[in-house]
Amino acid sequence: MPETETMRAFPAETSQPGLAVPAAEGDIERLVNGQHHDPHSVLGAHPLPAGAAGEEAVLVRAWRPDGAGVTLLAGEERTEMRRIHPAGVFAATVPGSLAAGYRLAVRQAGDLEVTVDDPYRFWPTIGDLDLHLHGEGRHEGLWRHLGAHVREHQGVTGASFGVWAPNAQSVRVVGDFNGWDGRLHPMRVLGGSGVWELFLPGVTPGARYKYEVLSQQGHLGLRSDPFAFATEVPPATASVVTESSYQWQDGGWLADRAATDPLTVPLSIYECHLGSWRHRQDADGTWRPLTYRELAEELPAYLAEMGFTHVQLLPVAEHPFGGSWGYQVTGYYAPTARHGTPDDLRFLIDRLHQAGIGVLVDWVIAHFPKDDWALARFDGTALYEHADPRQGEHPDWGTLVFNYARQEVRNFLLANALYWMEEFHLDGLRVDAVASMLYLDYSRREGEWVTNRFGGRENLDAIDLIKEINEVVYRHHPDVMMVAEESTSWPAVSRPTSLGGLGFGFKWNMGWMNDTLTYFSKDPVHRRFHHHELTFALLYAFHENFVLPLSHDEVSHGKGSLLGKMPGDRWQQFANLRALLAWMWAHPGRQLLFMGGEIGQSEEWNHERSLDWHLLQYPEHAGVHRLVRALNSVYRAHPALWERDFDWTGFRWLDPNDTEHSVLSFLRHNAAHNQPLACVANLTPVVRHGYQIGLPQGGRWTEVLNTDAPDFAGSGLRNETIEADPVPWQDQDHSARLTLPPLAVLWLTPHNTG
């Protein structure tokens, strides 16, 4: 038999007669050069052909470039391993009976000896079925297999690592556990899946790590783990091995949630940016955002006191730039470390649930940033994104667009939705920038986009993914909410996919928001020319399950605060703001208010500092605060405001056309149609005496809310008694004459229901 290159280079492996070398020619050189796709085929224990006496033997190779010498420990036996390559490959032949469970004693500088388990003697931790489902984009529990998981494997405790990088030459794990030395722990690719895997004994929670990815072009880059479950505090970018030990206490909340339908219960949402809600002063005098656990001490009690049913958090997934507010995500499976650990976030959510507050989180799957340590060109190719910038780059935000056609990318996002629901008990996801996903030409000029296969502008792959995500989430968790921020007139966004819809449960009503703020920003003297900007939303109010948002987007980027949008002097500004809020709470659709709106924040929101809580010492701001609390209280107490929110039979105009006086009035009805609520809005600073409105029943009616009340810092003008007489008016059998306070909204109910 002719002498091979491998036999010439490594004669120690063939020193025993009759033993063939199981390593293919060039394998060890590729290993040493960091280019081997399957180091386990070279390293670890490999059976050898039986000798003349029939004995079984095993050849063990070890890769220890940091070692001056290596001893193989098998039971009580110590076998000195021979260096077969100067870069640090060692080998020894031992009887098969001694090879199981062997360990390595590695001598390092100064004759220090360290005993370790050899990572290359372990079986894969990811099964064939998992790889198959991942390749088809159908692995709904993918996060349980990829990423870093602390586990006991073959009787040894350590951490398994799994990452998808199908076009890489090789991938290595580096971290605190190996001195960030990329030579030490190359991973193996599992078949043709593109998934690289390695089990590292002894790795414990808290260890920082990254992947060292060698591209086909020979470029070596350090990458954070796409499936990292924890990270360093930004601006540091390493992934962190973590293991949850949290014991949930929200069983009662989850049971109640399962028994309710979000479409038929009150829903009043407080939108919150955790980093700027409140700050705390440390002993050294510096101010900082609250931690998750500090937030748990304050936020649930505050929301319960204010009467909100839910809080919606701006994105909590890890992001490198605080100025993105979380909307440029690099760690889709990692809560931001700015406020604490993943279990600290679980503690906050648990406390919110125990206080009766549901938790929604903004979820960003429309784009991701170009940071070269994150998802962008992860394995040296356009892996998560499209290669063609006409499809793969977002012109508005300088970010990348996911390749929604690629099965593994779809699976990454699909599993992520379930991950947040199941690992953090979320009650819903608000999907950001849905419109940018739906249209291939979104924010693009002619020639800057690629048509779909039918020549159209619809992103068919994104549409299919959105539908699939909603179907899967609702199949697993039918009691949660999937909410779309969709700014166009795409039909049936919040209708089931079985009826041709996108499958969301709710949709933000961006048209209502724009028209309403445009109207309220007008000087009252001009409002009669803009009257139908308030009524237009009722032409389509029941086409979708709408949420009415006064969100962070309306108080940022130079738009000023809600209070700052209001015209007039200081008194009129606050009166207008109170009227806006009461109009919103009475309007069909669920309501969402960004933090600061409830205190009449004067300045535009700044993510770097706290809300101006000191403003509550001033009567006007305290009045707005008390009004929002009252709105939520009265709202919850009157099913007419929410039982038929998405049904046209729950709403009826009294008079939408009084443009001359800028007065609008309507009725809301509960499901049984026996507890009506009338809303009357006078949106000029002129008091209207003897203003007649129609009412559906006679007798005494009560003001259950008056935004001009002294408690809200209003002028105190009110209707002490309201008697509905049998005088038909506005298509109602009865009517009453009211005094309408200036720039104010009244809510009226029959006395026996007020």
**291-314 tens-digit pLDDT:** 999 999 999 999 999 999 999 999
pLDDT the model gives residue 96: 81
**What is the average per-residue pLDDT within 502-516?**
98
Chain centroid offset of residue 473 CA: 14
Residues 458 and 483 in one domain: yes
pLDDT tens digits, 602-651: 999 999 999 999 999 999 999 999 999 999 999 999 999 999 999 999 99
| Most confident segment among 20-34, 95-109, 431-445 | 431-445
pLDDT tens digits, 332-342: 999 999 999 99
Residue-averaged pLDDT of the chain: 94
Is residue 572 assigned to a domain? no
Question: Percent of the chain at pLDDT above 70?
Answer: 96
Is residue 262 assigned to a domain? no
Residues 105 and 147 in one domain: no
Residues 433 and 481 in one domain: yes
Catalytic residue among 432, 486, 515, 620: 432
Is residue 277 assigned to a domain? yes
647 catalytic per annotation:
no
Secondary structure of 75-107 in HEC code, one letter for each residue: CCEEEECEEEECCCEEEEEEEHHHHCCCEEEEE
Is residue 521 assigned to a domain? no
282 catalytic per annotation:
no
Query: CB under 8 Å to 275, separation ≥6 — which residues?
Result: 289, 322, 338, 339, 607
Residues 421 and 491 in one domain: yes
Secondary structure of 54-69 in HEC code, one letter for each residue: CCCEEEEEEECCCCCE
* Cα–Cα nearest to 408, from 131, 178, 676: 131
Chain centroid offset of residue 460 CA: 23
pLDDT tens digits, 255-290: 999 999 999 999 999 999 999 999 999 999 999 999
Looking at residue 475, which CATH number applies to its domain?
Answer: 3.20.20.80
Structure tokens at 591: 């309501």
pLDDT of 169 above 80: yes
pLDDT the model gives residue 752: 76
* Cα–Cα nearest to 207, from 225, 195, 194, 221: 225
**What is the average per-residue pLDDT within 381-392?**
95
**Secondary structure (3-state) at 711:** helix
Residues 45 and 183 in one domain: no
Counting the structural domains of the chain, the total is 4
Residues 74 and 133 in one domain: no
Question: Given phi > 0 = left and psi -120 to 50 = alpha, else beta, which region is 600?
Answer: left
For residue 409, which phi and psi values (nearest 5 degrees)? -70, -45
pLDDT the model gives residue 95: 87
Structure tokens at 517: 């703020």
pLDDT of 753 above 90: no
Residues 172 and 209 in one domain: yes
Residues 160 and 110 in one domain: no
How many C-beta neighbours within 10 Å does residue 625 have? 19
- Rounded CA separation 718/699 (Å): 18
Q: What range does the domain containing 734 cover?
A: 640-753
What value, to the nearest 5°, has the Cα angle with vertex 97 and ends 96 and 101?
A: 95
Q: Which residues of 429-464 are buried (b: 16+ CB within 10 A; e: fewer)?
A: bbbbbbbbbbbbbbebeeeebeeeeeeeeebebbbe
Is residue 720 assigned to a domain? yes
How many C-beta neighbours within 10 Å does residue 278 have? 18
Question: Percent of the chain at pLDDT above 90?
Answer: 91
Residues 230 and 339 in one domain: no
Residues 341 and 457 in one domain: yes
Residues 648 and 499 in one domain: no
Catalytic residue among 485, 533, 643, 703: 485
Is residue 557 assigned to a domain? no
Residue ending a domain, choose from 508, 538, 570? 508
Residues 101 and 133 in one domain: no
Looking at residue 146, which CATH number applies to its domain?
Answer: 2.60.40.10
pLDDT of 16 above 70: no
Question: Do 404 and 465 contact (CB within 8 A), yes or no?
Answer: yes
- Rounded CA separation 272/275 (Å): 9
Looking at residue 727, which CATH number applies to its domain?
Answer: 2.60.40.1180
**What is the average per-residue pLDDT within 595-605?**
97
Query: CB under 8 Å to 542, separation ≥6 — which residues?
Result: 588, 646, 647, 648, 651
Residue ending a domain, choose from 455, 484, 508? 508
Residue ending a domain, choose from 488, 508, 528? 508
pLDDT the model gives residue 99: 80
Residue of 656 and 50 predicted with greater confidence:
656
pLDDT the model gives residue 25: 67
Question: Do 221 and 231 contact (CB within 8 A), yes or no?
Answer: no
Is residue 617 assigned to a domain? no
pLDDT the model gives residue 2: 36
pLDDT tens digits, 77-120: 899 999 999 999 999 998 887 788 899 999 987 778 999 999 99
pLDDT tier for residue 51 given thresholds of 50, 70 and 90: low
Is residue 437 assigned to a domain? yes
Q: DSSP letter for 345, please.
A: H
